[in-house]
Structure 1
Amino acid sequence: MANKRDLKKEINYVFGDIIEEVYIWELNNPGKDTKPGEAIIDEAISSFDVLISRANERQVENSSKHFKTIREDLKKTAESLVEKVNAL
């Protein structure tokens, strides 16, 4: 069970950090439009929901493979969101 718990914590921390970076950018750039930042936050929240629901699945054949694919998807999604934050 520690594997599932650690995965869920990792998902939470990664998306929390991305959302925090968007807020920091908004604070440092008060004159700029916040709509792109809000879109990144919305995407992060929806991705969080999807990955957490996948992590909570109970009926999986190979749990280690299942968690590995979730971690890979987390990495891809996080990299994409970080690129978007850097482009702000």
Structure 2
Amino acid sequence: MPAEATLSEAAVTRKVDSSGNVSVAEVAYRVGSAWARRQVQVAVVGRTVEISAGTQLIRTHRTRRDPTREHGALANPGGRTHRTNAA
């Protein structure tokens, strides 16, 4: 049974790269090869990073980000616009 994703104001949309990783604030987090080249939502909740697709929570990781870079990573919640060649 999939867990429900935690709703957070700090959620951003990111595209999973071809290796199955997603990058937030210059830190890569493993999502899984099954999610390669798909968009996921990444939310920073306390000391964890929650990666979800819709309402399905895919994976959680302990935060490894630099707090000084957090503002830049979360400044554009929709991710980069009009970019089709990502990942």
TM range (shorter): under 0.3
Identify the structure with the greater helix proportion.
Answer: 1
**For the pair shown, which has the larger CA radius of gyration, 1 or 2?**
1
**Structure ranking higher in strand proportion:** 2
TM-score (norm 1): 0.24
TM norm structure 2: 0.25
* Greater relative contact order, per chain length (Cα 8 Å cut-off, separation 6+): 1
